[in-house]
Chain A
Amino acid sequence: MPNLKDLKTRIASVKSTRKITSAMKMVAASKLRRAQELAESSRFYSESLSFILSSLVGGSKDSSGLPELLVGRQNPKVALLIINSSDRGLCGGFNSSLFRSAVIWIKEKKSKGIEIKLMPIGKKASAFYKRSDQEILEKFEDLNTNDRQLEVSEQVKNKIIELFESNAIDEVSILYNKFISAIAQEPTYKSLIPLEQSDSKENSDEENTSSFEFEPDKNELLEYLIPRNFLTQVYGSILESSAAEHAARMTSMDNATRNAGDMIDGLTMKYNRTRQAVITKELIEIISGAEAV
């Protein structure tokens, strides 16, 4: 028979776990709202920027005159993958689905003869790849404030340009969890070098895209725009990933709270049964003792 006292302590401990998980859920929900707002408000800048970029590039259809930072190199040998994970755990399958997708991607690139180098963002990714044989070029951790997120994006941008210009890498992609809804996230790739043409086709169909006057000339503008574009792309994906992280944590903590509730119910039932059994047993002992006399 289970010990009554043990059952009682277990119930108490599950109850306090439930308190923690439901508090975490609440915190994640409010952080999610904030992260969504940030992602929303940063979208204007990146949308305008990619519009300007596409109207700059859209004018000249052939990619020969464009800088390598935009169109990439022929026959790439080394690709850089930026993996955008979370700093903390307890967010369900958020990180593991990301890493699973990265493994497949890396294998695919390797089969084409492209070497992969990594740049993990977030503690979880650097911990995951620490013991692997992948080469880590640089890692970024503790992205807990918005200022820090922007600062890291800036550093990533500088690093990308530095590495590309020293011919250490030929391609850059970024992997992050796309925020689809509060209950759905999806590992997503975005190619920075060569630049993925966003599906803003409806913009380029408008006649006025090519009618812009540019000052200074196109190439000088591109020189300014391309690094800016890296920054906003990286920053955007960091924000998106942080919204997705909070959403994932919210749902997984919600599940945990519910599981804890079920567990408490079960344990309470067991506790009551045991208590009743103890009383019955004592009664039987008393009665049979009285009969014996």
Chain B
Amino acid sequence: MIELKVVSPKKVIFQKEIEMAVLPGTEGDFAAMQDHSPFISSLRPGQMAIMSNNKTEESFFVSGGLVMLKGKVCEVLVDQIESLKDLNKDNYKQTKTYQELEGNETALKTFEQVVNSPSYK
């Protein structure tokens, strides 16, 4: 188990014990698990998935940020994050994240892709 802590500039979004998280690193996706070597990476816009038993429990869209892995703690400093649980291609444009990303074409495009992709859901 690893403690995942997701933080935005405004607040701690959530903090919980998980088995594994898949994160969209700038140089490729990677999985954060217990006893990963100390690691710092930046994030590209993409999908963050919390998994257990090879199944996705929850997934999120992140617009970018940083990850720090250290021992049993995985800290994710995100710019914007949106849970994909209740999102589909009709309502994702109404989210705050979408509006805040206005003008950031690559991030918006990825958001659209992530919302439409059936994987991880």
Residues of A that sit less than 8 Å from B by CB: 38, 41-42, 44-46, 48-49, 51-52, 55-56, 146, 150, 208, 211-216, 220-221, 224-225, 228, 231-232, 235
Q: List 5 A-B contacts (CB under 8 A).
A: A44-B12, A45-B77, A216-B42, A224-B66, A225-B66
- Which chain B residue has the least Cβ–Cβ distance from A55? B40
Kindly state whether residue B68 has any CB partner on chain A within 8 Å. Answer: yes
B70, A208: Cβ atoms under 8 Å? yes
Q: What chain A residues lie within 8 Å of B10 (beta carbons)?
A: 38, 41-42, 45, 146, 150
Q: What chain B residues lie within 8 Å of A213 (beta carbons)?
A: 37-40
Q: What chain A residues lie within 8 Å of B105 (beta carbons)?
A: none
The 6 A-B pairs with the shortest beta carbon distances in the complex, nearest first, are A41-B11, A215-B41, A212-B38, A45-B7, A213-B39, A44-B7
Give complex CA distance A44, B78 in Å: 12
Instruction: State whether A150 and B39 are in contact (beta carbons under 8 Å apart), knowing that A49-B66, A52-B66, A215-B26 are contacts in the complex.
Output: no
Flag B1-45 by CB within 8 Å of A: 1 or 0 each: 000010111111000000000000111000000000111111000
Flag B28-71 by CB within 8 Å of A: 1 or 0 each: 00000000011111100000000000000000000000101010
- Which chain B residue has the least Cβ–Cβ distance from A46? B9
Give complex CA distance A224, B67 in Å: 12
Q: Would you give the shortest CB distance from A33 to chain B, in whole angstroms?
A: 16
Interface centre among B9, B26, B38 (most CB of A within 10 A): B9
B26, A216: Cβ atoms under 8 Å? yes
